[in-house]
Amino acid sequence: MSLQHTISRASAAPANGEVLGGMSIGEPKDLGPMAWPHQPLRAPVLPAGAPAVHEHWRVDGPLRQGRDEGIHWCRNAELLYGVIELDEAEQAPTAGGGSPLQAASRVLYERLFRLLRAQGTPHLWRVWNYMADINGESHGLERYRQFNLGRYEAFVHAQRETGGQVPAACAIGVAGGPLSVAFLAGRSPVVPLENPRQVSAWRYPSQYGPRAPTFSRAALAYPRGREALFVSGTASIVGHATVHPGDVAAQCEETARNIECLVQEANRVARSGRPFSFNGLSHRAYVRHAADVDTVQRTLQPLLRGASLVCVQADICRADLLVEIESQAIHPLGSP
């Protein structure tokens, strides 16, 4: 077992020795202290009353872990998973007059990059970013755009590419709490994928903020003996514009088309010999309005054909987006 991703609605976790890291969504009960890096997604699972969801990344050992600059991390010989949370209120504004969130995102990513250099796992594969009030405005700028500024500054400071060779990622809004980031990194680089139906996020024009988001639409990664496809948070965007504002069903359909396109891009260069497919991925849907969850599930059901779908109430990076979906799958290399 080089890398495996498991999803469970039971509170019991797999044996500590195999867990690289994990996360919980909703309000888990009786978790107790985690022996591995753990990210809490502070958002309700949908529909209302659904049990909390637990996800784990499992790998071959031996494992070792540590804590550096507020990052709880765990790794084996080739992969590292880490979690860091920062209270933006405790961060001093940047010298140029930026906001506390901008400062927090820069500090957080600078710490992350220092850890990856020190651990010899320099390549970011997948990042999960969660922040409070993502569409709110302060300091003359939407908070998501503040976050993008800080993240971009950290990439530049670490002399990393800000376009092209960048990780898959999502950035999602929750009701409150710290800036929370979990990440998976490795010794080998990812193969970034872009969607021909969309402008690459890192090429967005300035109307979406002073700095474009730093992520690829999807990425293929190669842990030992495996091929992993990570589809970033994907929404109803064609070119660089939101389409179907106010229509959650149409946004779901457009989002599925974008994911299907990324699956096709992955299959053009995939090495496993087993094609990826929409219904072969596990999916997480972030739904802005809880009342829309039935429509989301009903619209996606014909495409899913039994594939895993977890729905979460959360805000999306644009105020006119009603749903965002992220997806992933791991195949053995050499499978027929």
Is 324 one of the catalytic residues? yes
CB 162 within 8 A of CB 181: no
Q: What angle do CA 50, 51, 55 make, to 5 degrees?
A: 120
Rama region for 235: left / alpha / beta (φ>0; ψ in -120 to 50; rest): beta
Nearest Cα residue to 282 out of 228, 318, 333, 332: 228
Alpha-carbon dihedral angle through residues 68, 70, 76, 77, given to the nearest 10 degrees: -40
Q: Given the structure tokens 């998501």, which residue do they identify?
A: 144
Task: Decide if 173 contacts 132 (C-beta within 8 A).
Answer: yes
Q: How many CB atoms lie within 10 A of CB 211?
A: 22
Whose tokens are 């860091």? That residue is 84
- Catalytic residue from among 88, 227, 324, 326: 324
Return the closest-CA partner of residue 182 out of 5, 1, 2.
5
Report d(CA 223, CA 254) in Å as an integer.
Answer: 31
SS3 label, residue 140: coil
DSSP state of 314: -
- Return the active site residues: 324
